[in-house]
Amino acid sequence: MSHAALLTLLAPLAGFLVLLTLKKDSSERLVGTIATGAVALSFLFALITWAGLEGRSSREVTVTLFGWISTGSLHAPVALLIDPLSVTMMLFVTGVSALIHLYSTAYMHAERDYRKFFAYLNLFVFSMLVLVMADNLVMTFVGWEGVGVCSYWLVAFYYDRDSAASAGKKAFVYNRVGDLGLLIAMFILFSHQTGLGYLQIAASASSHLSGAAATWVVLALLLGASGKSAQIPLFNWLPDAMEGPTPVSALIHAATMVTAGVYLLVRLAPVLALSSGGRTTIAVVGALTAFVAATIATSQKDIKKVLAFSTVSQIGYMVLAVGVGAYGAAIFLMVAHAFFKALLFLGSGSVIHALDGEQDLRRMGALSLVLPWTYPTFLVGWLAISGLPPFSGFFAKGAVLTGAYAHNKTLWALGVVTAVLTAYYMTRLFVLTFRGRARYRESLGHEAHESPLPMVAPLVVLAVAATLAGALDLPWVHQHTLDTFITSTVGVNA
C-alpha cells in the first residue's frame, strides 16, 4: 500500500517531467497519451491504496520518504499521511482529473502550446496530491503554493489577451492574501508547541492551545481557506478565472484548487473544535457566500460565469458544513460536486465548441436537437446540482442541511433559500441553452455539431458518477458509509 501511495503521487510528476523533455512540435497524440496516461495511472494506484487501507485494522499510515526540515523543535519530513480523508481526496482528484485530461486532448486540438498546456495540467494534479497527502502543514504549504502557481499559468494561458492576463494576476494576488492566513495559523500553532504534523496537532492541540489563541488560529485558517476556496471576501477571482480554457475551469472548480481550503479545515478539525466562536464564524461565512453567489448567478449571461458563481455557492455549502461540525457531509458534497461540476463545465465546453466559441446564453437555444450526447449528460448535471432525487446532489445537500438544522435554524433557512436559488439559475441556464428557439443560427455560419468521442466519453462517465454518487452515503450499500469512513479519521468527529 505504501508503494501504491507513493506512485499515486509520482505518476503525474513523471508525466510533467517527460513532457518537458519532448520537442515543442511533438505530436498531439503523443503528448495527450503521456499526460492522460500519467493521471490515469495515478488513479489506478489510488484505488490500490484505498483497497490496502480498507484491509487494515489501523486507518492511519505514515510513509516517511526522507528528512527535510529539522531545526530546534521544528521537524517537517517529506512524509505522506494515508488515512480515510486523504484517500478519498486522492480518488476523486485523480479520477476526475484523468477524465478532464482525456477531454482536453480533443478540446485543445490545434491550440498553440499544446505540450505546455498538458505539462501544466500534470503539474497541477501533482501539486494537489502533495497538498492532500502531506503528513504535515509545511509540506501541505508546498502543495498549496504549487496549485496557486499552476492556476496562474493556466488561467492566463491565453496571455496575449488582456482579460486573461489580468484574470491570472487577480487569481495570484487573491491567493497570496489567503496564503498569509495559513502562514499565520502555522506560526501560532508552532509557537504553542503543538507541532506541525497532523497527527501531532490532533494529539496535542487540546492541551497546548485554548482561548484566544485557538480562535486566532481558526480565523487565520478561515482566511487561508477563503482565498483558495473563493469565500467572502476573497471570491471575486474565481469568476474571472473563466478566461482560461474550459478544461482548466473544470479542473480548478471540480478536482483541485477550490476544494483545498475545505480540505484544510476538515483536516484541522481538532483545532476547530477548540473555538466555538471560530466555528460559528466559519458557518456564517459559508452560508452567506452560498447565498450571495447564488443570487449573483441568477443574472449572469455567460454560461461559464453562471457555473463559476455556482461553484462559489456550492463551496459555501461545504464551508457551512465544516462550521456546524458536519465534516463527513462537507466531504460528501465535495465528492458529489466534483462529479456534477466537472460534468457541467465539460458540457459547457462541448456547447462552446459546437458554437465556435460562443458563451452568451442569449445566443444559444434548441441545442438539444443537435447535441445528442451533450444534452442528456448536461441534463443529469442540472438535476444533480439542483438537488433532485435520486441524484447525488440530493443526498449530499441533504446531509449538509441536516447538520445545519441541528446547529442553527437561521443558517439552515439560508441554506434552503440558496438551494431554491440554485435550482432556479441552473434551470434558467439549461432552458436558455438547450430549449426554445435556435438563436445561435443568427450569428453562426453553420449548423452546430456534437463533440468528438474523447470529449463525449468523459461526459457519459461523469453523468453516471453524478447519478450514483449519492449511494456512497446509503448505509445498506456498504457497511461503511462515506460519513463513517471520513469521520473515522483521527480528530475528525462531529
**Better pLDDT: 76 or 308:** 308
User: With 80 as the cut, is the pLDDT of residue 55 above it?
Assistant: no
How sure is the predictor about 315, in pLDDT bands with cuts at 50, 70 and 90?
Answer: very high
Taking Cα atoms as reference points, which of 424, 429, 293 lies closest to residue 348? Answer: 429
Average pLDDT, integer, range 275-296: 97
Average pLDDT, integer, range 58-75: 85
Average pLDDT, integer, range 54-83: 86
The model's pLDDT over 461-493, given as tens digits with 9 standing for 90+, comes to 999 999 998 877 765 554 556 777 777 664 544
352 lies in some domain: yes
For residue 21, the model assigns a pLDDT of: 95
User: With 80 as the cut, is the pLDDT of residue 194 above it?
Assistant: no
For residue 480, the model assigns a pLDDT of: 59
**CA dist., res. 33 & res. 28, Å (int):** 8
Range in 195-199, 372-376, 461-465 with the lowest mean pLDDT: 195-199
User: With 60 as the cut, is the pLDDT of residue 444 above it?
Assistant: yes
Indicate the SS3 state at residue 234: coil
480 lies in some domain: yes
**CA dist., res. 484 & res. 486, Å (int):** 6
Q: Give the residue numbers spanning the domain of 477.
A: 296-494
Question: What grid cell was written down for 493?
Answer: 468527529
Range in 265-279, 368-382, 460-474 with the lowest mean pLDDT: 460-474
Alpha helix segments (H runs only) across 156-300: 162-191, 198-208, 211-229, 237-240, 246-250, 260-267, 269-272, 276-297
For residue 104, the model assigns a pLDDT of: 97
**CA dist., res. 8 & res. 6, Å (int):** 5
The type of residue at 306 is: V
Question: What grid cell was written down for 255?
Answer: 478536482
Q: Which residues pair with 74 in a beta bridge?
A: 71
For residue 493, the model assigns a pLDDT of: 47
Q: What percent of the chain has pLDDT over 90?
A: 78
**Better pLDDT: 211 or 479:** 211
**CA dist., res. 69 & res. 196, Å (int):** 11
Which residues 6+ apart lie within 8 Å of 51 measured at CB?
none
Average pLDDT, integer, range 65-83: 87
Cis before 452 (ω within 30): no
Burial class of 166 by CB neighbour count within 10 A (0 to 12, 13 to 18, 19+) = middle
User: With 90 as the cut, is the pLDDT of residue 323 above it?
Assistant: yes
The type of residue at 182 is: L
162 lies in some domain: no
Alpha helix segments (H runs only) across 112-208: 114-133, 137-155, 162-191, 198-208
Residue 231, phi-psi category: left (phi > 0), alpha (psi -120 to 50), beta (remainder)? beta
The type of residue at 354 is: A
User: With 80 as the cut, is the pLDDT of residue 171 above it?
Assistant: yes
258 lies in some domain: no
How sure is the predictor about 56, in pLDDT bands with cuts at 50, 70 and 90?
Answer: confident
Average pLDDT, integer, range 21-33: 93
Which residues 6+ apart lie within 8 Å of 141 measured at CB?
182, 183, 186
Residue 468's alpha-carbon distances to 31, 335, 375, 393, in angstroms, are 32, 12, 19, 10
Burial class of 445 by CB neighbour count within 10 A (0 to 12, 13 to 18, 19+) = exposed
309 lies in some domain: yes
Total structural domains in the chain?
A: 1
**CA dist., res. 171 & res. 241, Å (int):** 7
Count of helix runs (H) and strand runs (E) in the chain: 20, 2
User: With 70 as the cut, is the pLDDT of residue 78 above it?
Assistant: yes
Find where cell 449572469 sits. Answer: 300
Q: Using an 8 Å Cβ cutoff, are 247 and 346 in contact?
A: yes
Residue 325's alpha-carbon distances to 59, 276, 278, 329, 493, in angstroms, are 21, 10, 12, 9, 8
* The model scores a pTM over 0.85: yes
For residue 490, the model assigns a pLDDT of: 43
**CA dist., res. 375 & res. 431, Å (int):** 11
Indicate the SS3 state at residue 316: helix
151 lies in some domain: no
How sure is the predictor about 364, in pLDDT bands with cuts at 50, 70 and 90?
Answer: very high
The model's pLDDT over 418-437, given as tens digits with 9 standing for 90+, comes to 999 999 999 999 999 999 88
For residue 208, the model assigns a pLDDT of: 84
User: With 90 as the cut, is the pLDDT of residue 68 above it?
Assistant: no
User: With 50 as the cut, is the pLDDT of residue 240 above it?
Assistant: yes
Q: Using an 8 Å Cβ cutoff, are 146 and 123 in contact?
A: yes
For residue 491, the model assigns a pLDDT of: 54
The model's pLDDT over 291-300, given as tens digits with 9 standing for 90+, comes to 999 999 999 9
**CA dist., res. 22 & res. 321, Å (int):** 45
Per the document, the length of the chain is 494
Q: Using an 8 Å Cβ cutoff, are 156 and 165 in contact?
A: yes
User: With 70 as the cut, is the pLDDT of residue 162 above it?
Assistant: yes
How sure is the predictor about 211, in pLDDT bands with cuts at 50, 70 and 90?
Answer: confident
336 lies in some domain: yes
28 lies in some domain: no
Handedness of CA 40, 319, 147, 199 (dihedral sign): negative
Mean pLDDT over the full length of the chain = 92
Average pLDDT, integer, range 150-179: 92
